[in-house]
Structure 1
Amino acid sequence: MQWYLSVLKKYAVLRGRARRKEYWMFSLFNVLVASIISMVCVLFASPEVGVSVLCLYLLLVAFPGFAVTVRRLHDIDRSGWWILISCIPVIGPFILLYFNFCAGTTGENRFGEDPKGI
């Protein structure tokens, strides 16, 4: 939970680096929260309300998700502009997924200190 909250606290920070753990824990909690919202809305509300609440949640976490992805790219010593590779149909999202699985550069790189060392 601390990883999820730390990303939300740094929602507008595009500088620095993010560890794999920070990125993937944020992604995991996003999936869990979205699933819980979906289940609760299906069980206790109409489908229209469920879709509206889910869309509102996804809009609220869209920019923090973008920011943590940029910081994750910085950790592997790539510019944040590499996020645009996901716009390439079919293969682009898989390339970005591969980048998110890559280990970060050891030590300091041009985007800052190693987050594991801090």
Structure 2
Amino acid sequence: MQFQDAIKTCFNKYLQFEGRASRSEYWWFFLFMILAIIVAEILGQNIGTIVGLGLMLPHLTVEVRRLHDINKSGWWVLLKLIPLLNLLLLYWLIKRGDPKINQFGAPSNNPLHEVS
């Protein structure tokens, strides 16, 4: 998945917690979010806060779908709140997705989905 495709997909699935998201979809959107917040902060602190809050929900949904891709419940996203255990969440976000159908559906149609 390319950078633009990931951003479009994440905004189109703004409130969709079900399904799966590939590594590339998650990490491209994460990069977009960081860059958008940096640019907005340069323009003004209040603008950066507004942009950060506006991107929080699509980031949460793609993060939950990313956990679904490795056959984990989206509730594991709460590991962010526990120091040191959030490293486990980071590992899972980096991990290659399940190449087969799992309880959350089929893998995305991304040709890079199974690349390690």
* Normalised TM-score (structure 2): 0.87
Preserved CA contact (<8 Å) 2:65 2:74: yes
RMSD: 1.4
Query: Within 1, Cα distance between the matches of 2:56 and 2:108?
Result: 23
> Which runs of 5 or more structure 1 residues have no equivalent in the other structure?
42-49
1:112–1:51 CA distance, 2 compared to 1 (3 A): same
Query: Within 2, Cα distance between the matches of 1:92 and 1:116?
Result: 31
Structure 1 letter corresponding to 2:18: R
Q: Does 1:58 align with 2:52?
A: yes
In structure 2, what is the equivalent of residue 113 of structure 1? 106
How far residue 2 of structure 1 moved from its aligned partner, in angstroms, is 2.1
Choose from 85, 91, 99 the match for 2:79: 85
Structure 1 letter corresponding to 2:45: V
Higher-helix-fraction structure: 1
SS at match of 1:67: helix
In structure 2, what is the equivalent of residue 45 of structure 1? none
SS at match of 1:110: coil
How far residue 38 of structure 1 moved from its aligned partner, in angstroms, is 2.2
> Which runs of 5 or more structure 2 residues have no equivalent in the other structure?
112-116
In structure 1, what is the equivalent of residue 19 of structure 2? 16
How far residue 94 of structure 1 moved from its aligned partner, in angstroms, is 1.4
* Normalised TM-score (structure 1): 0.85
How much identity, in percent, do the aligned residues show? 35
Structure 2 letter corresponding to 1:38: E
In structure 2, what is the equivalent of residue 95 of structure 1? 88
Name segments (4+ residues, structure 1) moved above 2 Å.
none
Higher CA-based Rg: 1
